[in-house]
Amino acid sequence: MRCDLNVPLDDQGNILDDFRLQRALPTIFFLRKAGAIIILLSHLGEPQGIKNKRKRKKQLTLKPIGQRLSELLREKVLFSKKNKGRSVRRLIQKMKPGEILLLENLRFDQGEEQNSLKFAQQLARLGDVFVNEAFSVCHRAHASVAALPQALPCLVGPELFKEFNFLSQILQKPPRPLVVIIGGNKTQSKLKVIKRFLDLADYLLLAGESANLVLAAKGLWPSHPLLPAEDMAMLQDIKLTDPKIYLPLDVLVSSEPNGGGIIRQTGPAGARRDEDIFDIGPETISVYQEIIGQAQTVFWAGPVGLFEVKAFSHGTRAIASAIAQSQAQLKLAGGGETVAALRKFNLTDDFSFISTGGGAMLSFLAGEKLPGLEALGLL
């Protein structure tokens, strides 16, 4: 079973958020009840970026993930220091139905990111059926995602299928009005999504880095560093006169990194060159809340401010609460920071579905082909 157990860790290797682990539990419980021997596959971080092998294995081993899974499942999860080979096969041969084994970080083997069929075949020797329960990595052409389904009979995990259906519904026949809120950082990955929703959405509310870049491209916030020419051209195509598009009317700014020092409320164009925008202001919150209140479908990707800092958490909390309290038929959210915000504000249960996969989710919504979904026959 391919999971995404790539959770955030602190400097001591402690898990900061186990949402992705919890998302995998229902399928593990189902397979255990069915009497399967369960072999869990996942990656953690980017090991190839750490040249020192000993440091790499110490920082990015999946062993602490297995320990946390044992706590969540209330049953011991076995752990293998290797992810292929005879020693792993011998370990599996000794396992009983219902037992669970977590293999070491797949990215410790270069074949994973190279989408090596040989590595996929080595993984395939460990089991009889492949289950993909990791939508969040389906945009990666990696061995355990794209090649392994070629080497084994494969099944679509129920959580993956649920995510596929919810996201497909947004693109095909969403209950209207469809309100889309795009915030957060990593704006380059969201540009294609913004462009697509200009056609699909009834309202497109921008905030955070996404709004800042549009403002910068239009010359309304000259202090922002600009994107490459290709991305800037895409932003120039966005017409501020388009009645669908809403940008912040007022923002909270500070000249100190991470929002320290003096905080000012101003219009975006009133931000000085030495100031950064860290949250939307009360007037913007009011307008966005009113629009969200009209929605029948809401899709939210990316917090609207630096919610980790109390002084700049109000905007994100207000938007999250407005969605939670709305009468919309479909309420969808996704991306790592969005999930963290919803968990911080205890609002996850008020959404129809929360996607664990930021990059995969955005690629899917932008209309790109996802190798993992193609391998499963879903595209």
pLDDT tens digits along 82-96: 999 999 999 999 999
**pLDDT computed for residue 356 by the predictor:** 82
**pLDDT computed for residue 216 by the predictor:** 77
Asked if residue 175 has a cis previous peptide bond (ω within 30° of 0), the answer is no
Q: Distance between CA 290 and CA 284 in Å, rounded?
A: 10
Q: What is residue 221's DSSP assignment?
A: -
| Superfamily covering domain 19-156 | Phosphoglycerate kinase, N-terminal domain (3.40.50.1260)
Cα dihedral sign, 236-240-244-246: positive
> How many other C-beta atoms lie within 10 A of the C-beta of residue 367?
11
Q: What pTM was computed for the model?
A: 0.91
> How many other C-beta atoms lie within 10 A of the C-beta of residue 351?
21
* CATH code 3.40.50.1260 region(s) in the chain: 19-156, 163-365
**pLDDT computed for residue 222 by the predictor:** 62
**pLDDT computed for residue 354 by the predictor:** 95
Q: Distance between CA 175 and CA 170 in Å, rounded?
A: 8
**pLDDT computed for residue 201 by the predictor:** 97
DSSP 286-345: HHHHHHHHH-SEEEEES-SS-TTSGGG-HHHHHHHHHHHHS--SEEEEESHHHHHHHHHT
| Residue where the block lists tokens 């709305």 | 326
**pLDDT computed for residue 225 by the predictor:** 59
CATH of domain 163-365: 3.40.50.1260
- Is-contact 275 223, C-beta < 8 A? yes
The residues, ordered by sequence, that sit 6+ positions from 271 with a Cβ below 8 Å of its Cβ are 221, 223, 251, 253, 277
**pLDDT computed for residue 299 by the predictor:** 97
> How many other C-beta atoms lie within 10 A of the C-beta of residue 178?
20
Q: In the chain, which residues have pLDDT < 70? A: 221-229, 231
